[in-house]
Amino acid sequence: MDITDDDLLLERQLCFGLSVASRSVIAAYKPVLAKLHLTHPQYLVMLALWELAPRRVKDLGQVLLLEPATLSPLLKRLEVLGYVSREKDSHDERALAVDLTAAGAALREQARAVPGTMMAKLRLDRGSAMELHRRMMDLIEAAANTEAPSTALNGIATNGGATNDTTLQDMADN
């Protein structure tokens, strides 16, 4: 591949496009999630717990690709909101388990509107959203493999995007 000076233009930088897209999409989520009294990172935690609860903090960190120092304040805030409870794991007292409260479980019903609302706000149909999601998962996996091939995407099922696309489709149905 020939490198030209045009390759150094800001508008051609993948990192710039991804950074701006990330900030813009998360900003678009803000008013939608405000109705649920959630921030975007808190919403991601709740999504993981709606899939499977209770979960150990370590498991949540792996699924969300978050460090404990980042995850702990999110869990504390969700506990203050009354959406989760944190207790010692019954099978391992050294581990902390996070579970949904009744209010946290009930919040899922309100959250069912979020994926469809966001697809409409971002002018994406289901097929486009699924394809974009698949491409992002491929990109995340490729980036993870450049740093540490043996630990790429711990806890993330990509298997060609099937698991994640199904989840996205299921959420879009609601």
pTM: 0.79
102-118 pLDDT, tens digit each: 999 999 999 999 999 99
Beta-strand ranges (E) seen in the chain are 55-56, 84-88, 96-100
- Measure Cα distances from 54 to 42, 57, 92, 113 in Å: 16, 9, 13, 24
114-128 pLDDT, tens digit each: 999 999 999 999 999
> What domains can be seen in the chain, in order of their start residue?
14-109 (1.10.10.10), 112-174 (no CATH)
Main-chain phi, psi angles of 64, to 5 degrees? -90, -5
**How far, in Å, CA of 154 to CA of 174, rounded?**
28
